[in-house]
Amino acid sequence: MLIAGNWKMYKGPREAAAFCRELRDAALPDDVDVVVCPPYVSLESAVQALADTEIGVFAQSCHWEREGAFTGEVSAPILREVGVYGTLVGHSERRQWFGETDDSAGARVRAALEGGLHVIACVGETLAEREYGETEAVIRRQVGALEYDENLVIAYEPVWAIGTGRTATPEMAQEAHETIKSLLDVPVLYGGSVKPDNAAELLGRPAVDGALVGGASLDIDSFAAICRAASRS
């Protein structure tokens, strides 16, 4: 089981360090891999606070070139230099607000993997796509932009479940995860309003290999509770 906390645009370096120290002291279960994904400027303080622990620090995106004239972007070698272990790629908020496409996400994933990072690549349908019966086609298209790699994990995050308090039912998650696994045999995380009180049920489904947690990962008690629920699942 892998539990990843996507902090999105929350927690500067000081708050990140304080949170990571609490996480280090939280006696998390040993059978669960735990990852946090702070904003770029907080990565280094998170890495330092988690040194000598098994908790991984991931970025939230990564550019497809090693260096160049790409204002506002950060590359795999730069992330590696500050001790970052992996990165998210293709989150729906990047697709919705920052023009991320299947092609650009695919290029970022390849560059991150080639640069020695682990990758959690995000896929998932919008509410309109689900209502039009396009969920499977969207997943096939998004996953089709990726190739198998032993360091690749996919997160299924239905867009309508992100930050809304609505979650996919465990059956919906299971079905989407089976589709993804039929295309690429990689671990698949569920994301979208995962909370301490619904984590065990979602994580209990056989095709659910962990969770990508947004809002509930910002609070130490709720994040630790989700990690403990993963241990029992």
196 Cβ contact list (under 8 Å, min separation 6): 216, 222, 225, 226, 229
- Residue from the set 38, 86, 158, 215 that interacts with ligand 13P by CB under 6 A: 215
Cα(first)–Cα(last) distance of the chain, in Å? 9
For 129-138, b where at least 16 C-beta lie within 10 A, e where not — what string?
A: bbeeeebeeb
* Choices 78-86, 109-117, 129-137, 191-199 (CB under 6 A): range interacting with ligand 13P: 191-199
Tell me whether residue 91 is one of the annotated catalytic residues. Answer: yes
Residue of 91, 100, 125, 129 marked active site: 91
Query: Any contact of residue 163 with ligand 13P (CB under 6 A)?
Result: yes
Q: Which residue is nearest to ligand 13P (CB)?
A: 214
Query: Any contact of residue 214 with ligand 13P (CB under 6 A)?
Result: yes
Start-end of H helices in the chain: 13-24, 43-49, 76-81, 92-97, 102-114, 127-131, 135-144, 170-183, 196-203, 220-232
Residue of 93, 125, 129, 157 marked active site: 157
175 Cβ contact list (under 8 Å, min separation 6): none
* Choices 65-73, 142-150, 176-184, 188-196 (CB under 6 A): range interacting with ligand 13P: 188-196
DSSP letter at 14 equals H
- Residue from the set 192, 199, 223, 224 that interacts with ligand 13P by CB under 6 A: 192
- Residue from the set 28, 119, 194, 208 that interacts with ligand 13P by CB under 6 A: 194
Query: Any contact of residue 104 with ligand 13P (CB under 6 A)?
Result: no
Least distance in angstroms from the C-beta of 68 to ligand 13P: 27
Least distance in angstroms from the C-beta of 53 to ligand 13P: 22
Which amino acid is present at 17? A
DSSP readout, 78-97? Answer: HHHHTT--EEEE--HHHHHH
Binding site for ligand 13P (CB under 6 A): 6, 91, 157, 162-163, 191-194, 212-216
User: Which residues are annotated as catalytic?
Assistant: 91, 157
